[in-house]
């Protein structure tokens, strides 16, 4: 996780938690002079559009005062959904045994994208089973994006 994203997470977590939600994750995508700040929130009762609007309103106020993003940006607040993105070691650990898709910042064993069963996770890396024989250990620093894979039943 980049330093800037971590700073945004630390700034926004108290706001989100004060409203009764869990801050699931933060994404910041900068495209030239514009950026997209996406905040994922979760709750035991699920997330509604009204929940997203409430968090958006409060997060906007905090962001307006702190002004942590130099360029123009769009703020989106969303539920992580069924195919939830994974951000922290604890989130990976909670989904051991599930299928995940990883997009990597650089190639590992010739792969920049990989899908497999999440076998293990600790503070530094995750291990996924690509096939019955092939396993891949991926350092967190190499993971650009990760999310659960929802299988059709």
Beta bridge partners of 114: 102
Structural domains of the chain, with CATH: 3-78 (3.30.300.70), 89-148 (2.30.30.100)
Under DSSP, the state recorded for 63 is H
User: What is the pairing mode between strands 135-139 and 125-129?
Assistant: antiparallel
Please measure the distance between the N-terminal and C-terminal CA atoms of the chain and give it in whole angstroms: 33
Angstrom CA distances, 10 to 1, 3, 92, stand at: 12, 10, 20
What pLDDT digit, counting tens, does each position of 31-79 carry? 888 999 999 999 999 999 999 999 999 999 999 888 888 888 999 999 9
Q: How confident is the model at residue 109 (pLDDT cuts 50, 70, 90)?
A: confident
Cβ neighbours around 5 below 10 Å, total? 15
CB environment 95-121: b (16+ within 10 A), e (fewer): eeeeebbbebeeeeeeeeebebbbeeb
Instruction: Report, as an integer, the average pLDDT of 71-93.
Output: 94
HSE-up of 3 (CA within 13 Å, CB side)?
Answer: 0
Q: How confident is the model at residue 152 (pLDDT cuts 50, 70, 90)?
A: low
Percent of the chain with pLDDT over 90: 80
What pLDDT digit, counting tens, does each position of 110-135 carry? 889 999 999 999 999 999 999 878 89
């Amino acid at each position: 996780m980049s330093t800037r994203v971590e700073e945004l997470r630390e700034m926004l977590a108290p706001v989100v938690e004060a409203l009764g939600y869990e801050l699931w994750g933060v994404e910041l995508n900068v495209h030239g002079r514009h950026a997209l700040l996406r905040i994922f929130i979760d709750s035991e009762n699920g997330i509604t559009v009204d929940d997203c609007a409430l968090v958006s309103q409060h997060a906007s106020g905090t962001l307006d005062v702190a002004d942590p993003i130099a360029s123009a940006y769009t703020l989106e607040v969303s539920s992580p959904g069924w195919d939830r993105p994974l951000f922290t070691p604890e989130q990976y650990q909670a989904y051991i045994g599930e299928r995940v898709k990883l997009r990597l910042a650089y190639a590992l064993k010739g792969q920049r994208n990989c899908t497999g069963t999440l076998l293990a996770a600790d503070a530094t890396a995750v291990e996924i089973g690509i096939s019955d024989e092939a396993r891949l250990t991926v350092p967190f620093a190499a993971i650009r994006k990760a999310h659960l894979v929802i299988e059709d039943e």
